[in-house]
Amino acid sequence: MINYAIVGCGHIAKKHAEAIKKAEDSKLLAVCDTDPDRMTYFKEEYGADTYTDLDKMLKVEDIQVLNICTPSGVHAPLAVKAAKAKKHLVVEKPIALKIEDADAIIEACKDNGVKLAVVHPNRFRPVMMELRKLMDDGLLGKLSHANVAVRWNRNQEYYDQASWRGTKEFDGGVLMNQAIHNLDLMLWFMGEVEEVFSMDATRLRKIEAEDVSTGVVRFTNGALGVVEAATTIYPKNLEETISIFGENGTIKIGGVTATKIEHMNIEGLSEEIVNDLKAKIDENPMGKPGHQWIIEDMTVSITEDKEPIVTGEDGKRALQLVLSFYESAEKNQPVEIGK
């Protein structure tokens, strides 16, 4: 049995707690928050011990993993402290808001011999895992380009729930908060990015960060990509899509939350095979919750001493892409990744 603890008892922490409860060989032992009232639910629902002092909780030897569910801007100091206390880490996306903070987390985990997983759960949707198999088998051939769109609604009430939402210091905008999942998927399917050009704006929401962003990317393999992300869609979430185009195939994954095959035409795959695959996915489009996948994978990573599926470096790559979009939009010019 691997024992988990959570720091930061806001909305996303409930997903972590339920994932820990459902995951095999995992138990939620404790939670920590500066506000005692926010911890009541976790004590009553899961029997978790409660702490307002993180240092005190980290001294509990039975706790092996710390799940960091605080606002993004404070991930780094908490993660580094936990790593030094020899706790493995599950860090909510984004891993951090600055590259130097991501590096600090990764290095602290390496130096202290602890595992690090970043929560990019969309990889574990059934449709995404099936698409990855097709990509790994090379069925699309040479890749031409990809298109990612997040057309969602986050109204002003959403941002007004907490003072940190929509700020550049603690949260970021639509790219950092919502579309980073889709950027992670794009990197997972298409490979590394070498150059980006982006424009963004804050059009409708009263926030510091962007509520709409558009951009293009050039991958190191020569393929191109287009990214559109917005929380300004009226009156509710419209769609989340990822489309990939290759010399031997075209695939579009869509729906409100990108859980189904909207189009698939691949050389050598019959209509019957494609329809069977669609039906298989439609039976259970969400599959096992992504957070549960992350927890179970961390438990196995500890017991079998292996790297988690979604590593700290994966989290850093997605962060780097977002920051490169921001830099390009600010400078109004193309930006080369890592230069």
Beta bridge partners of 246: 143, 249
What architecture is the 123-287+320-336 domain classified under in CATH?
Answer: 2-Layer Sandwich (3.30)
Cα dihedral sign for 98, 239, 314, 16?
positive
Render each residue's pLDDT in the chain as its tens digit; 339 residues.
999 999 999 999 999 999 999 999 999 999 999 999 999 999 999 999 999 999 999 999 999 999 999 999 999 999 999 999 999 999 999 999 999 999 999 999 999 999 999 999 999 999 999 999 999 999 999 999 999 999 999 999 999 999 999 999 999 999 999 999 999 999 999 999 999 999 999 999 999 999 999 999 999 999 999 999 999 999 999 999 999 999 999 999 999 999 999 999 999 999 999 999 999 999 999 999 999 999 999 999 999 999 999 999 999 999 999 999 999 999 999 999 976
Rounded to the nearest 10 degrees, the angle between the axes of helix 312-331 and helix 99-111 is 170
For the chain, the domains span: 2-121+290-309, 123-287+320-336
- Tell me the C-alpha distance between 236 and 207, whole Å: 19
Q: Which CATH architecture has domain 2-121+290-309?
A: 3-Layer(aba) Sandwich (3.40)
Cα separation, 108 vs 125, whole angstroms = 30
Is the separation of the CB atoms in 65 and 298 below 8 Å?
yes
258: left (phi over 0), alpha (psi -120 to 50) or beta: left
User: Which amino acid, one-letter code, is at 69?
Assistant: C
SS3 190: helix
Report residue 152 CA to chain centroid gap: 16
Which amino acid does the sequence have at 339?
K
Is cis: bond before 235, omega within 30 of 0? yes
pLDDT at 125: 97
pLDDT of residue 154: 97
